[in-house]
Amino acid sequence: MGQPVGGQILYNFSTMSEAVAAIDTAISKMRGTLTEIEAGLRPLETGAWESEAQEAYRIRKERWNTSANHIAMILGQIKVAVTNSAERMQATDRKAAGYFP
């Protein structure tokens, strides 16, 4: 993305775009994996099992869903920051290019 070189920061817009796509992929894979896990464990939630262990499982499931949502939210914020940075730097680059007609 940006690497300091002699006090300057160099931006690689295609790398920034790839980072945004990678974030989308990571969020999608995480959600897909959780959906698969939940589908596999769904029989445990059908009432065929009632005990302290089931309650512990329910609490743990809530935690992992909360954590996954938090991770997705943070990754979404990073994605927005990278996208906004790229857009601002591209605008700055176009403006600077205008000084050299």
What pLDDT, on the 0 to 100 scale, is given for residue 2? 54
Across the chain, what does the average pLDDT equal?
89
In this prediction, residue 71 has a pLDDT band, given cuts at 50, 70 and 90, of very high
CA distance 79 to 23: 7
| C-alpha closest to that of 20 among 86, 88, 73 | 86
C-alpha span between 89 and 12 (Å, rounded): 10
Q: Which pLDDT score, from 0 to 100, does residue 5 have? A: 62
| 83 vs 87: CA distance, rounded Å | 6
